[in-house]
Structure 1
Amino acid sequence: MSQEEIIAEKKKAIFEGTLELVRENGFHGTPMSLVAKKAGVAAGTIYHYFESKDALIIALHGYLRSQMFKVMVESDDEQQDYKSRFFAFWKKHYQFYVQNPNALYFIEQFVNSPYYERCPEKENDRCQNIISNFVKTGIDDGTLKQMNLKLMSILVHSSVVTTAKIYLTKKVDIGDAELHQVAQLVWDGIKNH
């Protein structure tokens, strides 16, 4: 294994350990010593890669958003009509959260914390830009209602998050039919009639 692969594996272990601990204990209840133990690395190793807990949390957010970015870019087929692209995009986003529940809970805590305001990627978040650009395209070409772009983007994203949380907490059984119904409700609410 190369040195780069070893570093990548250690960082991944640190990120995964942090995700689990943040979900269980929140940001304040997740000290670096616990992260080191969970990740199976020495505490000094963490500080070799991240100068502080804040730096680790912000780097982890960037890592998760880049993972989401890959999923969203891979799922978009610009040859399809806008409605088909919307449904594929919405469902892929949902699947990412369902397959990565710790990421869902981490991101939700992150955007509602002071960390978000300190995040250097806040204005350049590729994931959020994909959502906003996709929605903007629909508004500009008349497919979607004329509405505040940021508000519509947040509403679309929050419908994905809420549906994933309902599924993960098993409050309601969500199969393919129900998932399509939710996406259809969102679509019906934003499409231009």
Structure 2
Amino acid sequence: MSSTIAGLILAGGLSRRMGGEKPLKLLAGQPMIKRVIGRIAPQVERLAINANSDPAPYLEYGLPVLPDTIGGHLGPLAGVLTGMEWAAELPGVTHLVSAATDTPFLPLDLVARFSAISGPGRIVLARSNGNRHPVVGLWPVALREDLARWLASGETMKVQVWAARHDPVFCDFEPEHDGAPDPFFNANTPGELAEAEVFLGRFGS
């Protein structure tokens, strides 16, 4: 655990494909966001949730619930900016690590692996099996003003496009063991949620 890194769970999406509040969908008998919290909380000093809906269901986890500081449902980058602005107020915090609420197999060594290749102004993004996962990243808090200007410009809300301006590095991850799911498996739809249930039934936590 690093006292310089805060964490943010991105739960601010509209969940159209899931047909409801995706973070609260049950997976192995518990809300999916609870599982994600359990995997990332031990890795960071402070943790918050980025959510733009009713905060009440999220407050029960005892974490700050942060709505986007920029309106218009601009996507994950708006959530990252919100988290960076929150983290900037925390003593000693220099970086924010973000994770999606639909990644129930998030690596337990995510922050340690990111930290090993991070730097003062370096963005680190996750990659597995050749696929990039731009919403799972390590963000220098010092870049928050640049990100705010980018979002205000309205050029594009794609995470990778903005990150590319800062020469990011990628951290490669593998499944925990043979037959295990991709560490960044997304449970975006009811079918994928059912698939995650199968993985958990087969391999446990």
TM-score (norm 2): 0.26
Structure with the bigger RCO (C-alpha within 8 Å, sep 6+) is 2
Q: Which has the larger radius of gyration?
A: 1
More helix by share: 1
Structure with bigger strand share is 2
